[in-house]
Structure 1
Amino acid sequence: MAKLTQPSWLLACAIGFGISTAIAQDNADQGASVDDYREMTYGDRDANPALLVVDRGEQLFKEKRGPKNVSLETCDFGLGAGVVKGAYAQMPRYFKDTDRVQDLESRLLTCMTEIQGFDAADVTTKTFADERINEPNMDIEALAAYVAVQSDGMKLNPPADHPKEKEAIAMGEQLFWHRHGPLDFSCATCHSADGKRIRLQNLGNFYTAKDAQKTMGSWPTYRVSHGLARNMQHRMWDCHWQMRLPDLEYGSPMSTALLAFLSHQAKDAPMVLPGMTR
């Protein structure tokens, strides 16, 4: 292989440095653009577009719906029937009536089927809006946003006392590290070290409390790049899709275990809801 002369070597170094600098600047510019957007809207929290979804969720929550023609106002999210204030900040958690650990979305699904009489298969036929066709948020996304925002300003503090809560956290940690799929990826591939990114997106290190808290304390969030409010079930599904894995079942024990582990990592995170991200 031919050796580079000194001028050629210096030129190659200069080009490489220029490319790295340009990428870093693009990344900084992109972050600044989102920060500017956040400042213009989320800086005035009443201007966050996700609040429109929250309002719709409140209407759906209090409306008499389903085959039984009742509202969700008697749903127990862990603090007693009908109590939504602070409930999201203490989820995922164990529920005696289902004998399993549930996150917000899987609990909503339980209440919609048990209280309102909806068929679970019908509710989960489509659970996420598609930004490619400017589709509005699905009903269950709006409901989740409404319930979650009732924990705004509180600290994330999911219980970890029941044996099944401890089991879910431990299982979630195993899943976080488990490599699988055609790309041989795990959650930890992207989210277990500082300074990682995919394309120009900075990736949080969920093994540090700071990054875990920043993420878990701000979802559901309005995603600027989607133009939609997104919940953590969508974040789990989207990560699995990006790893080219089969679709993650909505509200599945697998997704709940991952969320139990991540919430445990983010314990005491200040809840700033709804959030706003790229």
Structure 2
Amino acid sequence: MNARILSVCLLALGAANAGAQSPSDEIAKYRAMLADGNPAELVEAQGEALWSSKRGPNNVSLEQCDFGKGPGVLKGAYAELPRYFKDVDAVLDFESRLVHCMVTQQGFSRSDVVRQPYSAQGERATDLEALTAYAVAESRGYKINVPQQHAKEKAAYARGQKAFYYRGGPFDFSCASCHGADGKRIRLQDLPNLQNPAQAQKAFATWPAYRVSQGAVRTMQWRMNDCFRQQRFPDLQYGSLTSIDLITFLGVMAKGGAMDAPALKR
């Protein structure tokens, strides 16, 4: 068993036996102990190197990619995504915009870029994971402010809201089945009520995150896909309209929170 997971289990067991604090309190202590040495920092460094490296058939860096703040500007950009981009006439989240730049500027084929967006447990982070970790770290402390000015931004929110409450699959689950009320949990994991602004802010602000149980940085696209997996829905296509719509809905619900990612998750 992974030593970190074993530590969490022992802490939770000790709390249950002593009756002093809840397992959630002990897990929070554990995260605090690791916070100064978050392994995501290594992935951020990997992403920083990729950001400025000349790569792809066009042998250019990503430093001219515009995430809504101007070419090459990452400070605060993640906190205002998803958003409408005039050059593609669509709402994009960070990861789908990143793929767009890798294809249009660096010359990579889309199929190659998205073939394996997520690393397997214990593997080196993929380029998409590393670049996302670096970019979100550049927005740490910035207020979440996903825009709702353009008609397509408003439409993305409306579709995302509908998807959040849509029930289906073999268990007749929706996103709201787990994230629509206070006090819900799976095993030792508290489930945020994403209808509650304070809880939505905390949840959105701490993704992407380093998952201790998997030894990897996981992105928001991964988070959406994993929720679909747990609902027993078909896989959510990387960068799909539904994934962007859901992230838009969650981002708008989290308005005003301060970004604090990459964070630590169980």
Length-normalised TM-score, structure 2? 0.90
CA distance in structure 2 between the aligned counterparts of 1:198 and 1:41, rounded to whole angstroms = 23
Q: In the alignment, what sits opposite 1:39? A: 32
- Indicate which of 54, 61, 71 corresponds to 2:61: 71
Tell me the number of residue pairs that the alignment of Structure 1 and Structure 2 aligns: 251
Percent identical:
51
Q: In the alignment, what sits opposite 1:127? A: 117
The letter of the residue matching 2:230 is Q
Aligned to 2:217, what secondary structure does the other structure show? Answer: strand
The letter of the residue matching 2:71 is A
Alignment of 1:209 onto 2:208: no
How much has 1:203 moved relative to structure 2?
0.7
CA distance in structure 1 between the aligned counterparts of 2:261 and 2:174, rounded to whole angstroms = 28
How much has 1:115 moved relative to structure 2?
0.4
Q: In the alignment, what sits opposite 2:101? A: 111
Stretches of structure 2 that go unaligned for 5 or more consecutive residues are 1-12
Alignment of 1:267 onto 2:255: yes
CA distance in structure 2 between the aligned counterparts of 1:124 and 1:256, rounded to whole angstroms = 15
Stretches of structure 1 that go unaligned for 5 or more consecutive residues are 1-21
Q: In the alignment, what sits opposite 2:178? A: 190
Q: Deviations over 1:75-119 (max 9, x none)?
A: 000111111111001100000111110000000000000000111
Contact 1:219 1:274 in 2 (8 A): yes
CA distance in structure 2 between the aligned counterparts of 1:34 and 1:62, rounded to whole angstroms = 37
Contact 2:24 2:190 in 1 (8 A): no
Deviating beyond 6 angstroms after TM superposition, the runs of 4 or more aligned structure 1 residues are none
Q: In the alignment, what sits opposite 1:14? A: none
How much has 1:33 moved relative to structure 2?
4.2
What root-mean-square deviation, in Å, do the aligned CA atoms of Structure 1 and Structure 2 show?
1.7
CA distance in structure 1 between the aligned counterparts of 2:26 and 2:100, rounded to whole angstroms = 40
Q: In the alignment, what sits opposite 1:162? A: 150
Aligned to 1:152, what secondary structure does the other structure show? Answer: coil
Length-normalised TM-score, structure 1? 0.86
Aligned to 2:60, what secondary structure does the other structure show? Answer: coil
Q: In the alignment, what sits opposite 1:92? A: 82
Looking at CA atoms only, which structure, 1 or 2, has the larger radius of gyration? Answer: 1
Q: In the alignment, what sits opposite 1:256? A: 244
Q: Deviations over 1:113-146 (max 9, x none)?
A: 0000111111111111121xx2121110100111
Q: Deviations over 1:223-272 (max 9, x none)?
A: 12222111111100100011111111111110000000000000011111
CA distance in structure 2 between the aligned counterparts of 1:41 and 1:196, rounded to whole angstroms = 25
